[in-house]
Amino acid sequence: MKYSIEKIYFYCDPRLNVVPGDKFQHLLICLAEGFRELGIEFFSNVNYWQESPEEKKYLFRHHPDVTPDDCSIVILQNNWFHANCPLPENLFHPKRQYVTVYLDGEDSDKTYIERSEFQQFDFILRNHFNQKLNYGKNFYPWSFGLTNRILREVQEVPSFQERKKQILINFRHWKFGHPVRNVSCSLFIPRIEKILQIDNSIDSPDKRSTDPYHDLQWLQTGGRHYPNYYKRLQGSIACACFGGFFVPSWPKNPSNLINRGGKQLIERLRLKTKTIVQWDSWRLWESLAAGCATFHVDFEKYGIALPVMPKNWQHYIGIDLDNVQAAVDRIADEPEIIESIAIQGRHWALENYSPVPTALRFLETVSQNKN
């Protein structure tokens, strides 16, 4: 498949006086790593993402003689909104020949209410997409996916027989965490612990790795890189990845004030609905890539949308929160299914969401839907 792509320009977070972790841009990294493998040239407004502690070599490199107008696609991530940075000057100038793409990994859906200029992008690739809601004609489902940093940590996958018969359930935030996580685990844990042991150990920020490479990644990811966490994933047969917020299915616009108010009311009353937002996480992809049987809610029932959808009970275990016991009973009756789902889930994640397939899907989305 060929694309008429000449060069790509990334606008990375330009802030200088902030710690590196506050500028973590996972979505951009995944794309850039894929473009590099495909031999596609890309440039940036700043140097970003140091790849080795031994030398100042960056994935994104600034070349003063290359501007966005020299490129066919210009890409930004949601750091520009989150840090309240003004959009790059003349980004949408009328004579531009490039396509603009916004990678929206923002937790909430208030971006386009608070800063309407973000609606001008030709393409908005939205994490946490829910197919029951109406985002706009220039929105497409996207995901966190996998970068080489994650893949390096889970490259060696122990056999299922070498792993402990345990499920990793180690969320950092419970009482003040995601309502979907709290509700799911309150229903799920008392049932699953009769079948699998539970590992709820977490990594303390005070015990970060002293290895130069891992320390660099810890700094650049804002404390999201723990080698021991990946080892626990590799040593477990399953991992719980529940997360998100229940929202009303009406109004369809997730940024609508009524919808957002309904979300707060549902959370306060601890109610469940059949529509979930903010459901994506690094944990989901780390679990899949590590070869764990990955637990989440039933994607189709709750409207969760990905560019390439997994199949429930083949690539992951999607729980119906109205009937949690049915899933637990099936696992008890078919214990071998855990291994099958873990193996197929890893294969599905690597095949569809590692850097190269992610970059190819990006190019296909832009080229097929370009006016």
- The per-residue pLDDT for 208 is 85
Does any domain span residue 262? no
The values of phi and psi at residue 92, to 5°, are -105, 35
- Look up the CATH number of the domain holding residue 331: 3.40.50.2000
Q: Is residue 84 domain-shared with residue 221, that is, in the same domain?
A: no
- The per-residue pLDDT for 2 is 41
Does any domain span residue 177? yes
DSSP E strands: which ranges in the chain? 7-11, 41-44, 48-50, 58-60, 73-77, 99-104, 123-126, 139-141, 164-168, 197-199, 236-240, 245-246, 276-277, 293-297, 317-319
Q: Is residue 332 domain-shared with residue 192, that is, in the same domain?
A: yes
- The per-residue pLDDT for 1 is 34
Does any domain span residue 270? no
- The string of pLDDT tens digits covering residues 85-112 is 999 999 999 999 999 999 999 888 777 8
Q: Is residue 164 domain-shared with residue 215, that is, in the same domain?
A: yes
- The per-residue pLDDT for 143 is 98
The values of phi and psi at residue 317, to 5°, are -110, 105
- Look up the CATH number of the domain holding residue 124: 3.40.50
CA–CA separation, 4 and 214 (whole Å): 38
Q: How many domains does the chain have?
A: 2
Q: What is the largest CA-CA distance in the chain?
A: 64
Q: Which domain holds residue 36?
A: 7-145+354-369
Over the chain (371 residues), what is each successive 10-residue block's mean pLDDT?
A: 70 94 97 98 98 93 96 96 90 96 88 84 96 92 98 95 95 71 92 96 83 96 94 97 89 72 76 92 97 98 98 99 97 97 99 99 88 53
- The per-residue pLDDT for 162 is 96
Q: Is residue 198 domain-shared with residue 240, that is, in the same domain?
A: yes
